[in-house]
Amino acid sequence: MFKIIAGYAFRNVLRTRLRSFFTLFSVTLIIMLYTVLTSTGDSFTNQISTALDTQDVDVAVQAKYAATPISSVIDAQTVKAIESMSEVDSVYTLLIGRKRIEGKATVVILGVSNFSAFAQRLGFSIVDGRGFCDADHEVVIGEKISKVYGLKVGDDLELNGGKKYLIVGVYSSWLNPLNSGVVSSLPTIQSLVGKTDKASLLFLKLKDSTQSSAVVKNINKHFPEMRAMEIQQLPDYFGVLKSVFYFSKIVSVLTLFIAMAVLINTFIMAISERTKEIGILSAIGWPRFMVIAIFLVEALLLSVTGGVLGFLSSYPVMALLQSNFSSVSVYLPETPSMAVFFNVLLMSFVIGVLSTIFPAIYGTNIKIAKAVRHE
Amino acid sequence: MSNLISIRNVSKVYEKGLVKALEKVNLTLEAGKIYVLMGASGCGKSTLLNLIGSLDTPTSGDVLYEGRRLNEVGTLSTFRRNFIGFVFQFHHLIPVLTLRENVESALLPNRDILAEERSERAISLLDDMGLLHRADSYANEISGGERQRGAIARALINRPKLLLADEPTGNVDSKTARLILKKVQDYIKASEGTMLIATHDPNVAAMADVVIEMEDGKITSVIHNNQDRSISDEKVSN
């Protein structure tokens, strides 16, 4: 039975070749867009989350009313007060800013209090030259900046304002966005962004990790301008990560609706054109579910094929984007993840079923005598 | 003979009562006979056929199938499949299925019949209808007469008790019409089934056991024909 129904559905898809082609083409494009956008979003979110998980710190502190880490400002007095808390073993200070490389793109700049600890925790490895010393004007740059702008060890890096910094090393990080960054000592970056004695984020390593919750409460109570959180909560707190997360979800839902609209349109037309056929099948004794099954199989053929083609076509599209648009400040993964593939399969299935079931139920609800007479 | 179908005071109106398609029709169809419904276009032949075939419901009155109302026969699709075979004026074969698949399609919902038996039955019927060489052809690849014979094979594959045909020879030449009628008549005789044909064609009426004439939604006469109405092979070849 399934063989005949599948053959029937497949030949129906071929019967209206042009319409099937454009439906398939639309679903493929929509799914490709979904794959590219969600892969980018997921990859970015995952890398940030993983980076934070591997930092081996317990508590993060940011200025309470800062929307992003870049806009967060923590003064030296607060840093010292937190450092002196009895539960705190050590504090890593991070200052984040953005500056334009003269005549080129804007990049993320990071000032760190302890480069070796920072490098170890964020998986930095020096691929050329050395790490910077605390001397002023020494920086290390990410390998992406090095490749894109042809900068190498020994060159000067001119950040806006005309100030020159000596490149002493090129680093590589598995956290891809950081490969488009410039890192230097905390005082150097403080001076560069005009935030002397200031920090953006503090990462606290506690003597006893189980005290995280108590320390967070303590900081939030005694430093009302600060917002402390356990390290696991940091991704949620970062507005940008939330935005990426919601963007990804919104894209999924929109994709679902757009693909459904395309398929619903196709199947309303198909069912309307084949009203007589529905009547004939019912007249010769086909139960309603079998008539609906024909349309469902047709829709699934189009939606799942479109899903798979959309996923596969995202490979060259992502490679193209990667090679043309992945400049210093834009992050794109090289390939979509398998998790996205399974999402695509599931979504294609759901799209196929939801977009056909209602037109098919409606179409088969007609009186058989009327359907048989339908022209 | 037992009553296969009893129609009691059946009326059918359309357009909120503005169009009276049938008005208090009473009729009994006995098992094993061939009935022909005759009348001008719009007299209610197709409406009566649709009501008997359970494709539509009467506005008032009852259609009884071996004494049971439609709501007592169980699942409608199963009932239709097992009890009734339809032949329409236009063949109405599914264009994307081959002739064999079209014939098999009527058996498809019947889970008790395996694919092998389904295929055997279809091949046997196509052979009876002289269509074996066309089994793997699509509807657009065969002639009008072959399509109609294919549609008859589809209607017969479930071995229905009642075969309903609406102008089955309306779109074929007279020679093909005689061939089609001969095939159907032979089958009905062999299976002791019942057939009701709506037609304008007096040649079709000549093969009937009972001719029912209709006018303006009413049955005006029921004529029993007691002569031998078999269509000879000689007539078919002419």
The pLDDT assigned to A318 comes to 85
Whether residue B50 lies within 8 A of chain A, CB to CB, comes out as: yes
Gap from A280 CA to chain B (nearest CA, Å): 7
Tell me what the mean pLDDT of segment A20-43 comes to: 87
Q: Please name the residue of chain B whose CA is at the shortest distance from the CA of residue A290.
A: B109
> Quick one: pLDDT at residue A21?
92
Q: Which segments of chain A does DSSP mark as H helices, in order?
A: 2-15, 17-53, 76-83, 115-121, 143-149, 186-193, 212-222, 234-237, 239-273, 275-283, 288-325, 338-363, 368-373
Average pLDDT over residues A271-284: 88
On the question of pLDDT at A177 being above 80, the answer is no
Q: Which residues of B touch A284 (CB under 8 A)?
A: 80-81, 85-86, 105-106, 154-155
Contact between chains at A7 and B101 (C-beta distance less than 8 A): yes
Question: What percentage of chain A carries pLDDT values higher than 70?
Answer: 89
Disruptive mutation site among A3, A12, A282, A284 for chain B (greatest number of B CBs within 10 Å): A284
- What was the pLDDT predicted at B238? 47
Give A175's pLDDT tier (boundaries 50, 70, 90). low
Residues of B in contact with A1 (CB under 8 A): 108-109, 111, 115
Of A1, A288, A369, the CB nearest to B55: A369
Yes or no: say if A56 and A334 are a contact pair by the CB < 8 Å rule.
no
Put simply, whether B125 touches A (Cβ < 8 Å) is no
Chain B residues 74-93 within an 8 A CB cutoff of chain A: 75, 77-78, 80-82, 85-86, 88, 92
pLDDT of residue A121: 64
Give tens-digit pLDDT for A32-68: 988 888 887 777 777 666 666 666 788 889 888 777 7
Between chains, do B94 and A8 touch, taking CB under 8 Å as contact? Answer: yes
Tell me which of B229 and A138 has the higher pLDDT: A138
Closest CA to A190 of A199, A181, A182: A199
Positions of chain B with pLDDT lower than 50, given as ranges: 236-238
pLDDT confidence band for A195 (50 / 70 / 90): confident
CB atoms within 10 A of CB A194: 9
**Minimum Cα–Cα distance from A293: chain B residue:** B109
Q: Do A287 and B75 touch (CB under 8 A)?
A: yes
B163-181 core/surface letters (b: 16 or more CB in 10 A; e: else): bbbbbbbbebeeebbbbbb
pLDDT for res A328:
39
More confident residue, A25 or B171: A25
Of A7, A285, A372, the CB nearest to B77: A285
Q: Which residues in chain A have their CB less than 8 angstroms from residue B47's CB?
A: 369
A11–B106 C-beta distance less than 8 A: no
A4 touches A294 (CB < 8 A)? no
At B169-200, the pLDDT tens digits run 776 777 777 777 877 888 888 778 899 999 88
Q: How far is A289 from chain B (nearest CA, A)?
A: 10
Mutual angle of helices A288-325 and A239-273, in 10-degree steps: 140
Provide the angle, in degrees to the nearest 10, between the axes of the packed helices A338-363 and A239-273: 40
- Beta-carbon separation of A284 and B56 below 8 A: no
Among B77, B90, B152, pick the best mutation site for testing chain A contact (most A Cβ within 10 A): B77
A284:B82 CB<8 A: no
Confidence band (pLDDT; 50, 70, 90) for A209?
confident
Residue A60 bridge partners (DSSP): A203, A229
The Cα-based distances of B222 to A73, A338, B64, B196 in angstroms read 102, 74, 19, 13
Cβ proximity of A72 and A63 under 8 Å: yes
Residue A135 has pLDDT above 50, yes or no: yes
Chain B residues whose CB is inside 8 A of the A280 CB are 88, 92, 94
> What one-letter code names the amino acid at A44?
F
Name the pLDDT band for A214 (thresholds 50, 70, 90): very high
Name every residue whose Cβ is closer than 8 Å to that of residue A94 and which is 6 or more positions away in sequence. Answer: A69, A110, A111, A112, A113, A118, A199, A200, A201, A202, A203
Q: Which residues of B touch A15 (CB under 8 A)?
A: 95-96
Inter-chain CB proximity B155 and A368 less than 8 Å: no
A119 vs A112: CA distance, rounded Å: 10
CA distance A306 to A344: 10
Contact A286 B108 (CB under 8 A): yes
Query: What are the C-alpha distances in Å from A105 to residues A56, A101, A144, A145, A165?
Result: 32, 6, 12, 10, 16
Cα–Cα distance measured from residue A50 to residue A235, given in angstroms and rounded to the nearest whole number? 10
B73 in contact with A, Cβ within 8 Å: no
pLDDT in tens, A303-334: 999 999 999 999 998 888 777 765 534 556 77
Strand, helix or coil at B95?
coil
List CB contacts (< 8 A) between A4 and chain B.
97, 101, 104-105, 108
Task: Determine the Cα–Cα distance for residues A326 and B160; give it in Å rounded to an integer.
Answer: 70
CB contact under 8 A, A287 and B77: yes
Q: Which residues of chain A lie closer than 8 angstroms to B104, CB-CB?
A: 4
- Rounded CA-CA distance A337/A311 in Å is 10
* Residue that is written with structure tokens 């039955």 in the block: B121
pLDDT digits (tens, 9 = 90+) for A330-375: 556 777 888 888 988 998 999 899 888 888 888 888 888 888 777 7
